[in-house]
């Protein structure tokens, strides 16, 4: 029995399902989750000392690769002076200033400890600011696990959402409206029916939780206009795309100014950090300036701030995103060519350091199209790649990530291994 298998068995006696976040359990792909021991740069080593080229990057934060020496040095240095004070430190100001400089739509920003907290708090402030109840989200977009957001579309086009998890009261879900990503007409209809009670629209500007779906031209612009017309707050959830698809996030790429932005993952460089921020007149409503309550014992934690500060400094290096985008697009082109050669239908895309590949012969632009892809093929491909020492996200609805530490050789090596796996899939 492998050590990963032993650990998984042991973990299940004390941790629900053996994991602290469900996707880690390999439920969709089957088999035993890999337990990791260490990471360095583009590589991970598991508990059995097998090496992998990693394309999960801790689900996005590891944009510099694992254990970046400068990040580790900063974290260790700060840790020597105390792990947490629950009182303000200069590091919080420095990180906030850096975030503001990189994301110009943010006038004021508050640090939290996860993406879930960031989106939950952004929604509360949007509701408090507008005095309205409803939020509009998109099917297939994930914004963390708070009650209002664990909601899927109801049975009729204009009906209220239904909880996707027991424990979320239908009374909460009824305030969540669910529209289809890339379908502006659908959003418009919901606004026509409920516009005067819609506090906010929350959207992943590039959807990374239904594989990877980019916005059609005009979609994000249309959301901006509808929010302006109806006095609703537009929230870009850039927990995944922030500092990942470009230095100024998806809003920089598409040149759209949301009212609020949520951040996470890269901003903490691997430490538990999230943030939400935006227009001064909205953020000023937050306690202690205003009446809307939000707080956190470990928010702005000095060790986490240190990791974030170094990470945001390093991503400003000249040509950082050009190089990252070139490697990521080469990886996807390599997958595409290899799959075509093997006769396996595949559709790929990438933006910056984020990528997605779909087992389909069509371009994928919606949740329905994404969920219709060949999951069985994905499962086989995942395990073939895992066997070959390539760690991909263990679920077909997750985006993948390339880091600055991936070398051209790592990318070419991955393509060679993928070619072999596509051939095996076809045979
Ligand atoms: N928003 C987006 C777009 C995400 O991808 C995620 C997590 O994957 C979250 C929010 C929630 O972040 P966290 O897992 O840090 O709570």
Same domain, 288 and 352: no
Same domain, 290 and 349: no
Domain holding 393, by residue range, is: 330-398
Distance CA 166, CA 150 (A): 10
Residue 348 located in a structural domain? yes
- Which CATH number covers residue 373? 3.90.1150.10
Same domain, 288 and 142: yes
Task: Say if ligand 1 is within 6 A of residue 269 CB.
Answer: no
Probe residue for ligand 1, chosen from 111, 181, 240 as the CB with the greatest number of ligand atoms within 8 Å? 240
With contact defined as beta carbons under 8 Å apart, do 274 and 113 qualify? Answer: yes
Residue 177 confidence (pLDDT): 96
Same domain, 257 and 378: no
Same domain, 278 and 372: no
Same domain, 109 and 161: yes
Angle between helices 408-426 and 375-387 (to 10 degrees): 130
Task: Say if ligand 1 is within 6 A of residue 270 CB.
Answer: no
| Single pTM value for the model | 0.97
Residue 2 located in a structural domain? no
Bridge partners of 39, per DSSP, are: 44
Same domain, 151 and 261: yes
- Pick the catalytic residue: 237, 259, 374, 410? 237
For residue 368 the two structure tokens come to 């329905």
Residue 154 confidence (pLDDT): 73
Query: How many angstroms is it from 50 CA to the middle of ligand 1?
Result: 29
- Is 142 assigned a catalytic role? yes
Residue 320 located in a structural domain? no
- Is 265 assigned a catalytic role? yes
Instruction: Please spell the DSSP secondary structure of 4-60, one letter per residue.
Output: HHHHHHHHTTTSGGG-SSGGGG-TTT-SPPPPEEEEEBTEEEETT--EEEESSGGGT
β-strands 233-237, 260-263 pairing: parallel
| pLDDT tens, residue order, the chain (427 aa) | 999 999 999 999 999 999 999 999 999 999 999 999 999 999 999 999 999 999 999 999 999 999 999 999 999 999 999 999 999 999 999 999 999 999 999 999 999 999 999 999 999 999 999 999 999 999 999 999 999 999 987 766 566 788 999 999 999 899 999 999 999 999 999 999 999 999 999 999 999 999 999 999 999 999 999 999 999 999 999 999 999 999 999 999 999 999 999 999 999 999 999 999 999 999 999 999 999 999 999 999 999 999 999 999 999 999 999 999 999 999 999 999 999 999 999 999 999 999 999 999 999 999 999 999 999 999 999 999 999 999 999 999 999 999 999 999 999 999 999 999 999 999 8
Task: Say if ligand 1 is within 6 A of residue 244 CB.
Answer: no
Task: Say if ligand 1 is within 6 A of residue 173 CB.
Answer: no
Phi-psi label, residue 367: left if phi above 0, alpha if psi -120 to 50, beta otherwise: alpha
Same domain, 272 and 361: no
- Pick the catalytic residue: 98, 134, 137, 265? 265
pLDDT tens for residues 203-238? 999 999 999 999 999 999 999 999 999 999 999 999
- Which CATH number covers residue 244? 3.40.640.10
Same domain, 273 and 382: no
Q: Which atom of ligand 1 is nearest to the CA of 114?
A: 15
Distance CA 29, CA 14 (A): 23
Same domain, 272 and 137: yes
Same domain, 260 and 354: no
The structural domain count of the chain equals 2
Residue 63 located in a structural domain? no
Angle between helices 320-342 and 408-426 (to 10 degrees): 20
Same domain, 216 and 244: yes
**ipTM score of complex:** 0.99
Task: Say if ligand 1 is within 6 A of residue 276 CB.
Answer: no
- Pick the catalytic residue: 52, 142, 321, 391? 142
Residue 121 located in a structural domain? yes
């Amino acid at each position: 029995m492998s050590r990963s298998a032993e650990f998984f068995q042991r973990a299940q006696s004390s941790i629900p399902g053996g994991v602290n976040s469900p996707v880690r359990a390999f439920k969709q792909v089957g088999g035993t989750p890999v337990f990791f021991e260490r990471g360095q740069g583009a590589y991970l080593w598991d508990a059995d000392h097998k090496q992998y080229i990693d394309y999960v990057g801790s689900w996005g934060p590891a944009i510099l690769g694992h254990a970046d020496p400068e990040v580790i040095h900063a974290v260790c240095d700060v840790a020597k002076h105390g792990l947490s004070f629950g009182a303000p430190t200069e590091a919080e100001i420095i990180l906030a200033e850096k975030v503001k400089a990189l994301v110009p739509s943010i006038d004021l920003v508050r640090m939290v400890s996860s993406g879930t907290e960031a989106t939950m708090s952004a929604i509360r402030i949007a509701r408090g600011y507008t005095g309205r109840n409803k939020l509009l989200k998109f099917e297939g977009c994930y914004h963390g696990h708070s009650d209002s957001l664990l909601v899927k579309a109801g049975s009729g086009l204009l009906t209220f959402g239904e909880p996707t998890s027991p424990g979320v009261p239908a009374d909460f879900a009824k305030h969540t409206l669910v529209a289809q990503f890339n379908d502006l007409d659908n959003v418009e209809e919901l606004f026509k029916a409920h516009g005067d009670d819609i506090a906010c629209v929350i959207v992943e500007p590039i959807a990374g939780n239904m594989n990877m779906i980019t916005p059609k031209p005009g979609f994000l612009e249309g959301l901006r206009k509808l929010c302006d017309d109806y006095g609703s707050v537009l929230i870009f959830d850039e927990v995944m795309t922030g500092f990942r698809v470009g230095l100024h996030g998806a809003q920089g790429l598409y040149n759209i100014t949301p009212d609020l932005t949520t951040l996470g993952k890269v901003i903490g460089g691997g430490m538990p950090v999230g943030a939400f921020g935006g227009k001064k007149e909205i953020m000023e409503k937050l306690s202690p300036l205003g009446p809307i309550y939000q707080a956190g014992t470990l928010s702005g934690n000095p060790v986490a701030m240190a990791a974030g500060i170094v990470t945001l400094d390093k991503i400003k290096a000249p040509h950082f995103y050009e190089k990252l985008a070139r490697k990521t697009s080469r990886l996807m082109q390599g997958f595409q060519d290899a799959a075509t050669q093997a006769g396996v239908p595949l559709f790929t895309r990438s933006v910056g350091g984020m990528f997605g590949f779909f087992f389909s012969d069509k371009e994928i632009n919606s949740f329905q199209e994404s969920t219709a892809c060949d999951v069985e093929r994905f499962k086989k491909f995942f395990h073939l790649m895992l066997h070959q020492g390539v760690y991909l996200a263990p679920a077909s609805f997750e985006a993948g990530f390339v880091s600055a530490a991936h070398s051209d050789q790592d990318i070419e090596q991955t393509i060679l291994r993928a070619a072999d796996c596509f051939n095996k899939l076809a045979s």
